[in-house]
Amino acid sequence: MPMPRALFVAPLLLTLFGLGSAPLSSEPHPDPAAARLPPLVTEGGAHAAALLAHRVSSAPYDTYRLAGPGIRRSDRFRAGSITKTFVATVVLQLVGEHRLRLSDPVERLLPGLVHGNGSDGRRITLRALLGHTSGLYDYTADPSAHPLSATAALHVALAHRPTNTPGHYAYSNTDYAVLGLVIRKVTGHSYAAEIRHRVLTPLRLTGTSLPGARTSLPSPHGRGYTRDPADGSLRDTTSIDPRTAGAAGELISTLDDLNRFYAALLGGRLLAPAQQAALLNTRASHGVYGLGIYPQKLSCGLTVWGHNGRIAGSHVRTAATRDGGHTLTYRVDTDASADSEALGTALVDAEFCEASPPSRPGP
């Protein structure tokens, strides 16, 4: 499972469903797993978290739960690397339109751009970029670099030797910076414009946006916090320059929109069958990652699909069943959580295994 970088600090325990739980007025049935969901770990003054679950099967329900002050269901928040699933969807749609092929080498599309210090665009395909098997160094691993464009991010990456040889899995934000450039080359439009046209507008995801250079969050929104590495203090990072994240992580969204997006994607509404199969193919990563999405096998044998996202002031996780009929998104108003990966595993496991009987396990 990919683990985006973050600052780790000592936790303060809060219980997600013990504080201010609030079912939706339209909820046909209460969430049977709510009382059994595990505690949520957050920090210091950044103590707000929320979870939204939705199911459309034989026992449908919507459930919203929250912990801590200053957070609402309608809030816009930074979704970090969940951006990658949106970018991958656009690339796969272009493949379905025969404007791209997954076997296309980067060199054919962006001649001369990915070359040097051991990296060779002739050996890196679009499939490798989508599935993090390109070997390209992750530009966010260089703490001295704060690139404000995809080409600048690529220059940072190419200043380092590859993390792995092409064909071996290694999560790298550089892969999606390059994919953003590929989308512009093929369509003549930015990846943000293509996401709006192909995904946001058709699905009516009105709370989702790609801010570009805009540093503020759209209203309504809460606050976001991170830990200052210099003195360990908690500081407000609600306003940041998202250009460093770019196609790897600039997305702003809501709980409802993320659930709706993954339900549509996994439900087959955005991709043709061949591209849908490619999306969920994890062979190249030995089961770790598909193309912009990854699986999580739960304790009850069910496999869910989704992505996590971590960016300054925000940690998010979305998971859904393979048919998109049961979705879960939770968010925390800080990226400074020492054990957020374990928390995410526990929350997802409790929701899907306790709330419904196990269905046929995924691949």
Structural element, H or E, at residue 263? helix 255-266
The answer to whether the CB of 201 falls within 8 A of the CB of 56 is no
Measured distance CA(239)–CA(225) in Å, rounded? 10
Burial letters 343-360, b for 16+ CB under 10 A, else e? bbbbbbbbbbbbbbeebe
Beta strand segments in the chain, E: 12-14, 40-42, 49-55, 61-67, 77-78, 115-116, 119-120, 225-227, 234-236, 252-253, 294-297, 303-311, 314-320, 326-332
Sign of CA dihedral 84, 197, 205, 302: negative
Q: Where are the alpha helices (DSSP H) in 188-254?
A: 191-195, 201-203
Cβ 178 vs Cβ 149: under 8 Å: no
- Which positions of the chain have pLDDT values less than 50? 1, 3-46, 357-363
Three-state secondary structure readout of 236-250:
ECCCCCHHHCHHHCC
Cβ atoms of 62 and 24 within 8 Å: the answer is: yes
The three-class DSSP label of residue 199 is helix
- Establish whether domains 12-80+219-355 and 83-191 are of one fold: yes
Query: What CATH topology corresponds to 83-191?
Result: Beta-lactamase (3.40.710)
- Quote the CA–CA distance of 216 and 205 in Å, as a whole number: 19
pLDDT of res. 12:
23
Question: Cα(184)–Cα(173) distance, rounded to whole angstroms?
Answer: 18
Structure tokens at 33: 């797993």
Task: Specify the DSSP class assigned to residue 207.
Answer: T
Query: How much of the chain, in percent, has pLDDT values that exceed 90?
Result: 72
- Which active-site residues does the annotation give? 81
pLDDT recorded at residue 100: 98
Cα–Cα distance between 210 and 95 in angstroms, integer?
23
Query: Residue 28, preceding bond cis, omega within 30 degrees?
Result: no
Q: Which CATH architecture has domain 12-80+219-355?
A: 3-Layer(aba) Sandwich (3.40)
Q: Please tell me the predicted confidence (pLDDT) of residue 26.
A: 30
3 state SS of 264: helix
Inter-helix orientation angle 83-96/173-187, to 10° = 40
With beta carbons less than 8 A apart as the criterion, state whether 50 and 331 touch.
yes
Pairwise CA distance, residues 307 & 299, whole Å = 18
Domain locations in the chain as residue ranges: 12-80+219-355, 83-191
> Which pLDDT does position 47 carry in this prediction?
63
